[in-house]
């Protein structure tokens, strides 16, 4: 953190995720959005829920609208969980280690890999077709 003129610590600058404007301390508007590309670094219960920062309520509402229009793809979330686990390790992980680290099973690991390659229907599409 930077120090202010009196030596006090200053909070890091916040930027609006919509317009990229710098936000004065204490003026940020925060909210949650559903985002299948986000795996929480500590709490798996918050996977798929991203915090966003905006400069005003209108920009927050626009960000939330944009995320609402984006499909939530289960395999994308699984890929995010795998990516997070891999980033936290210097060496690669075996499938067994990935299962332990991510909480996914082998079929989910395979489905995530297939999704990355653009092969096969997503779990979300299959559940819709089966309903």
Q: What is the pLDDT of residue 8?
A: 57
Give the separation between CA 18 and CA 88, rounded to whole angstroms.
29
Digits of tens for pLDDT over the chain (131 positions)?
A: 445 555 555 666 899 999 999 999 999 999 999 999 999 999 999 999 999 999 999 999 999 999 999 999 999 999 999 999 999 887 889 999 999 999 999 999 999 999 999 976 676 665 533 33
Residues linked to residue 83 through DSSP beta bridges, in sequence order: none
In three-state form (DSSP H/G/I as H, E/B as E, the rest C), the secondary structure along the chain is CCECCCCCECCCCEECCCCCCEECCCCCEEEEEECCCCCCCCCHHHCCEEEEEECCHHHHHHHHHHHHHCCCCHHHHHHHHHHHHHHCCCCCCCHHHHHHHHCCCHHHHHHHHHHHHCCCCCHHHHHHHHC
């Amino acid at each position: 953190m930077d120090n202010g003129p009196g030596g006090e610590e200053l909070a890091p600058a916040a930027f609006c995720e919509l317009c990229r404007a710098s936000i004065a301390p204490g003026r940020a508007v925060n909210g949650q959005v559903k985002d299948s590309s986000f795996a929480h670094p500590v709490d798996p219960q918050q996977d798929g829920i991203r915090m966003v920062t905006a400069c005003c309520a209108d920009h927050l509402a626009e960000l939330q609208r944009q995320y609402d229009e984006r499909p939530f793809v289960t395999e994308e979330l699984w890929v995010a969980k795998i990516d997070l686990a891999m980033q936290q390790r210097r060496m690669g992980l075996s499938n067994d280690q990935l299962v332990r680290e991510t909480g996914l099973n082998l079929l989910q690991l395979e489905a995530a890999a297939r999704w990355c390659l653009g092969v096969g229907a997503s779990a979300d599409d299959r559940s819709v077709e089966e309903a």
